[in-house]
Amino acid sequence: MATCHDDTPASYSLTEDQIVLQRAAADAARAVLGDTLKQDDEDECFRKDYFHKLGELGLCGVPCPEQYGGLGLGYAEYVVVLEEIAKVSASYAVTVAVSGLPQIILAAFGDEAQKERWLPGLAAGELLGAFALSEPDSGSDAASLRTAAVRDGDSYVLDGTKFWITHGGYADIYVVMARTGGPGAKGVSAFLVPGDAPGLSFGKKEQKMGMRASPTVELVLDGCRIPASNRVGAEGAGFTVAMDALDGGRITIGAVSVGLCQAALDVAGLYATVRKQFGRPIIDFQGVGFMLADMACRTEAARLLVHKAAALRDAHRPYSQVAAMAKCVATDAAMAVTQDAVQVLGGYGYTREYPVERYMRDAKVMQIVEGTNQVQRMVISRHLKHRYQQAGPC
């Protein structure tokens, strides 16, 4: 009988250095972000200076090589940092993760001049990075994007519209995917578009259910002229750049989701321990105690899968399937755990007196970004098909 097995390491306990980093990230996130969370959510206020402060504390350049000013650490450390920030604010955890995408893209695909120009500022949190792939008619089907980049001497001229751009209008540099060739994936190229590039403007700001301290804005390219040297990689290599970024992004969104799970579990667990009904803490009633147990199981299972995906990427082993699994499981867990946290708190959970209703609103979008969870299941099933085809008949 043919066998199909996975021999990846099974241990994801943190090292002493990772624990130190974890504590530092937790302390920094509370110190920088803690005071205005509720008000910023209500006002849909993004504070770029908060991002700069996180950078000053070393949290914005975790995946960036040391020679360009980053910490030069792996995804194993990256997910630890993002989880701790997300426990305090998912909005700013996503900001750090999205600003990390240009760093990861440039480190893997950029030339030396691009790395020296942009990476030190991004790693230090002095510059805010963004990623522009989705369009009005191409979200999950990224290969069908229409934004055009036409070569004109030593320049490219970009025309098109991008949707769902995290901190659009605030970022200093955008990695933009645009079509330089024919239809399909092979016609896509990647470009660096500075935030002050002529012909770059911004449309409506989305009014969102959650993640309200993280602006999501329409990006408009109207005769946007940039130097040809701003192309990242060869013409036609953009889809490869984008898919590599999305695979890594699925791990980071998984980490943010685990942070949401843990934050919701902590609030619900503490509340259930002190809240009494019929003379007993409500955690003593199976209806609540078992709910908390399930929340803890989902949180830990999601965390382990995210760490497995991070370990595979750091080991330069195939990780796309596990990244999709991690994103799917962790974001579904975040939605379930935050919803249960609201239920544990009862009427209080439905009010803004406690943060669990914000956690629940923030969690929903995690099932949508970086490829919907339906797309993740398509990715996973394709890997399974290939795996079992290779294994042969039973």
Helix orientation angle between 286-314 and 320-345, rounded to the nearest 10 degrees:
160
Distance in angstroms (rounded) separating the CA atoms of residues 264 and 117: 40
**How far, in whole angstroms, is CA 264 from its chain's centroid?**
19
Residue 370 is a catalytic residue: yes
Distance in angstroms (rounded) separating the CA atoms of residues 237 and 233: 6
Phi, psi of 279 (to 5 degrees): 80, 5
What's the CA angle centered on 165, arms 160 and 170, to 5 degrees? 105
Looking up tokens 């962790």 gives 330
**How far, in whole angstroms, is CA 247 from its chain's centroid?**
10
Query: Per the residue annotation, which of 135, 218, 357, 370 is the catalytic one?
Result: 370
Please say whether the beta carbons of 162 and 134 come within 8 A.
yes
Distance in angstroms (rounded) separating the CA atoms of residues 196 and 160: 17
Provide the annotated active-site residues.
Answer: 370
